[in-house]
Chains A and B, each alone.
Chain A
Amino acid sequence: MSGELLSANHAAALAATLAGRANRSGRGFVSGVYPITPSTECMEYLCVQKIEKGKVVRVESEHSAMGVCIGAAAAGARTFTATASNGLAYMAENCVAAAGLRLPIVMAVANRTMGPPWNIWADHGDALMLRDLGLIQIYCADNQELFDTVLAAFRLAEDRRVLMPVMVCMEGFILSHTVAQTVIPSQDQVDRFLPLTSIPQQLGATPHSLGQIELPAQTEAHRRQHHQAILGAQQVFEELAGDFASIFGRELQGAVVPYRTEDADTLIVSMGTMGLTAQRVVDQARERGEKLGALRIRMLRPLPVQAIAEQLAGKSRIAVLDRDISLGFGGVLWGELARLAAPGAVVQNYLAGIGGGDVRPEHLEQVLADLKGRQTAGSPVFLEAL
């Protein structure tokens, strides 16, 4: 198998490097970075790259890391940062700012449980907490996908119809630190895939202010614009996937990844690496003659409502796995798509792998057994003692 042996963290950094270099005849590349487990090695790898017309700034906090990206993006450069968990929470205010200013900043998040109590292992709660801000979120399951998605994220973010931050997520340790073969394209190919960064509102010579105070009606209009744009991002993503394929000779995964769902009556829906585990369970179940399918959600924002609804149609039993919990409610993914199932379907939430537990096929078998026994959906179920 071809490809370099890289961890997903390093792959993300490398994708950013290639993308940064691709802007060398534009206004260059700037990154603000700060370490936090399990994202640290992403930024470390970035710091040792040589990027023509690029600068990586080792700042003093995640808030400032995004701050640097905001300033640089506003000045017209391509930008990137990486963080996780509490770092993402500290960065949150500036994520709001980046999104509100419609800046095409790409960020790699190594999803990790938020604390205290401190926990360094995987949990989707950090990124999900920021899903309402007006940035695009895509959750990845393997190294190649992660690399490809980060690369594509630059093109997606900078598209004039989109113009907002893109957050590419990988589960901490489980994906971030796992090393696997990753096909890396040439700089020339990347140059062809990524046009030079140029945003309409960038600071030039004309006096204008980015981020001014405004009145309620103006905010409504701005939100509407932003909402439209993010909804339209799915279409843009599909378009660029076509280019991606023709330049890199490889398919970019779509907004949702269905696995053997066409004739399934039962579905396991999940995000991230658990989706791959679900696929293995699907194969096993199929051998037993069960009509099981798996649906992995990659793009959470914009939520690909139509695609999901199509996949959920006709399924009478649906297990939604959440490696996260909205305390006082239940799993976020479940909350988002339960209403998209067919009326009468049993859509049951399973909280799997919260705090980083290793979700194995046997756990999913438990899930299926539980689901099978249900006539109606109940409250979210914790898969404890993993």
Chain B
Amino acid sequence: MISEPQLCGMAQTAVDRKAPLLRPGNTNCGGCGMSNLLQMMRRAIADRPVQLVIPACCGAISAGAFPQAGFGAPTLLTTFASAAAAATGAASVAALNGEETRVICLAGDGGTYDIGFATLSAAAERNEDILYICYDNEIYGNTGGQRSSATPAGAVTSNTPGGKLEQKKDIMAIMAAHRIPYVASLSLAHADDTLRKLRHALDLRGFRFLHVLSPCPTGWKSEPALGIELVRLAVRSGLYPVLEIFDGKRHQINIEPDFSDEALEMYLSLQRRFQRSGVKASDLRPAIDQHWQNLRVLSGRIVPARRER
């Protein structure tokens, strides 16, 4: 019978990383979801040694202007498509030298879904020992907000003024199809669940992929203060499923949505990128329902035809 916000004792651990991972004075927009993610990562990483590999996305700017270090960990900034390849190199060296260093890619949806897709797929196929975190603000943020294949249908971007026609690519299914040890979607509004998954992912070996819906007030044309609430609404409405996929097969839903249309309408109404295209909750509902039907099947509502030996 607990009534307090359950934050998993998140802010009270003894092994808290004393120094921040994303330092104050960074140039991220106020209310940036990636900033929130980095605060959570700080707590999850604690005292582990890490190296960050970041392609040419918003994260590369967070690293600070030469020579000031925006991150509290050694960081390699790579060309847009190369994060997973460079991380392969760095992780290989750590492994060859028997080091505990965890190599973490922090890439936006552009560098993950689009230009970096082949690199990502190949590194996953080789099961490189990399933690790849995609902070997905559903646009090419660093260049001013153009559409990516992560942009949801109905969203207005700087080069899709009438709203994007195509559906958002299902990156979770794609990464699961690589049969990597761990794929998970994170909700920044559910700090305890996020922390648990970050810690779990940091401890595993092999290729681990995390997808984070990252509110972008600048790109979504929303109030900076409402970022976490937007994620909460996306989760509640079923628009953003929060789940884990182990070894590409076992699916586990972590947060049950209530599939509320009220939450979905509120989510849309709080972002001008949806208001301008006029998309409504009823437009999105069929795709959400279809997707969840698949997830229910995958998460074990049906007995498999053949038992494993």
Q: Is there a direct interface between A and B, measured as CB atoms under 8 Å apart in the complex? A: yes
Question: Which residues in window 207-232 of A have CB below 8 A to B?
Answer: 207-215, 218
B-facing mask of A56-69, CB < 8 A → 1, else 0?
Answer: 01111101111111
**In the docked arrangement, what's the CA distance between A55 and B85, Å?**
13
Query: Are A68 and B69 also in contact (CB < 8 A) when A54-B96, A207-B74, A212-B63 are?
Result: no
Interface residues on A, range: 35 or more
Interface flag for A190 (CB, 8 Å): no
Query: Are A205 and B63 also in contact (CB < 8 A) when A72-B90, A77-B96 are?
Result: no
Interface flag for A71 (CB, 8 Å): yes
**In the docked arrangement, what's the CA distance between A283 and B76, Å?**
54
Query: Are A67 and B63 also in contact (CB < 8 A) when A55-B92, A57-B92, A207-B72 are?
Result: no
Closest B residue to A63 using CB positions: B81
Interface flag for B112 (CB, 8 Å): no
Q: Which of A27-35, A41-49, A336-344, A362-370 contacts its partner?
A: A27-35
**In the docked arrangement, what's the CA distance between A68 and B81, Å?**
12
Closest B residue to A214 using CB positions: B66
Choose among A63, A76, A96, A211 the residue that contacts B119 (Cβ–Cβ < 8 A): A63
Interface flag for A4 (CB, 8 Å): no
Q: Is the CB of A74 within 8 A of B90?
A: yes
Q: Is the CB of B93 within 8 A of A204?
A: no
Q: Is the CB of A214 within 8 A of B65?
A: yes
Interface core residue of B60, B65, B82 (most chain A CB under 10 Å): B82
- Residues on the B chain within 8 Å of A207, using CB: 19, 69, 71-75
Q: Is the CB of A69 within 8 A of B71?
A: no
Interface flag for B162 (CB, 8 Å): no
Q: Is the CB of A75 within 8 A of B65?
A: no
Q: Is the CB of A97 within 8 A of B79?
A: yes
Q: Is the CB of A30 within 8 A of B60?
A: no
Q: Is the CB of B63 within 8 A of A70?
A: no
Interface flag for A358 (CB, 8 Å): no
A-facing mask of B45-83, CB < 8 A → 1, else 0?
Answer: 000010101000000110111110111111111110110
Q: Is the CB of A215 within 8 A of B89?
A: no
Q: Is the CB of B88 within 8 A of A71?
A: yes
Closest A residue to B122 using CB positions: A60
- Residues on the A chain within 8 Å of B205, using CB: none
Q: Is the CB of A94 within 8 A of B90?
A: no
A-facing mask of B13-51, CB < 8 A → 1, else 0?
Answer: 000000100000000000000000000000000000101
- Residues on the B chain within 8 Å of A260, using CB: none
Please report whether the interface of chain B is mostly helix, strand, loop or mixed according to DSSP. Answer: mixed
Expressed in whole angstroms, the minimum distance between the Cβ of B56 and any Cβ of chain A is 9
Expressed in whole angstroms, the minimum distance between the Cβ of B21 and any Cβ of chain A is 9
**In the docked arrangement, what's the CA distance between A259 and B176, Å?**
62
Q: Is the CB of B76 within 8 A of A71?
A: yes
Closest B residue to A218 using CB positions: B66
Expressed in whole angstroms, the minimum distance between the Cβ of A212 and any Cβ of chain B is 4
Give the total of B residues in contact with A, Cβ under 8 Å: 45
Query: Are A61 and B119 also in contact (CB < 8 A) when A74-B86, A208-B75, A212-B77 are?
Result: yes
- Residues on the B chain within 8 Å of A73, using CB: 89
Interface flag for A203 (CB, 8 Å): yes
Expressed in whole angstroms, the minimum distance between the Cβ of B55 and any Cβ of chain A is 9
- Residues on the A chain within 8 Å of B288, using CB: none
Expressed in whole angstroms, the minimum distance between the Cβ of B148 and any Cβ of chain A is 19
Interface flag for B126 (CB, 8 Å): yes
**In the docked arrangement, what's the CA distance between A373 and B82, Å?**
54
Q: Is the CB of B66 within 8 A of A70?
A: no
**In the docked arrangement, what's the CA distance between A55 and B79, Å?**
22
- Residues on the A chain within 8 Å of B189, using CB: none
Closest B residue to A65 using CB positions: B85
Interface flag for B279 (CB, 8 Å): no
Expressed in whole angstroms, the minimum distance between the Cβ of B111 and any Cβ of chain A is 12
Choose among A54, A61, A214 the residue that contacts B118 (Cβ–Cβ < 8 A): A61
Query: Are A64 and B82 also in contact (CB < 8 A) when A74-B89, A203-B90, A208-B69 are?
Result: yes
Choose among B51, B63, B85, B126 the residue that contacts A75 (Cβ–Cβ < 8 A): B51
Choose among A60, A93, A203, A209 the residue that contacts B63 (Cβ–Cβ < 8 A): A209
- What are 13 inter-chain pairs, A to B, with CB distance below 8 A? A54-B96, A55-B92, A61-B118, A65-B85, A68-B89, A71-B78, A72-B89, A203-B74, A203-B90, A205-B49, A208-B75, A209-B76, A212-B66
Q: Give 19 A-B pairs besides A64-B81, A212-B77 with Cβ atoms closer than 8 angstroms.
A: A53-B97, A57-B89, A59-B85, A60-B121, A61-B122, A64-B122, A67-B78, A67-B84, A70-B86, A70-B89, A72-B89, A79-B89, A209-B63, A209-B64, A209-B71, A209-B77, A212-B60, A212-B65, A213-B66
7 tightest A-B CB contacts, nearest first: A67-B85, A71-B89, A72-B89, A71-B86, A60-B122, A67-B82, A211-B77
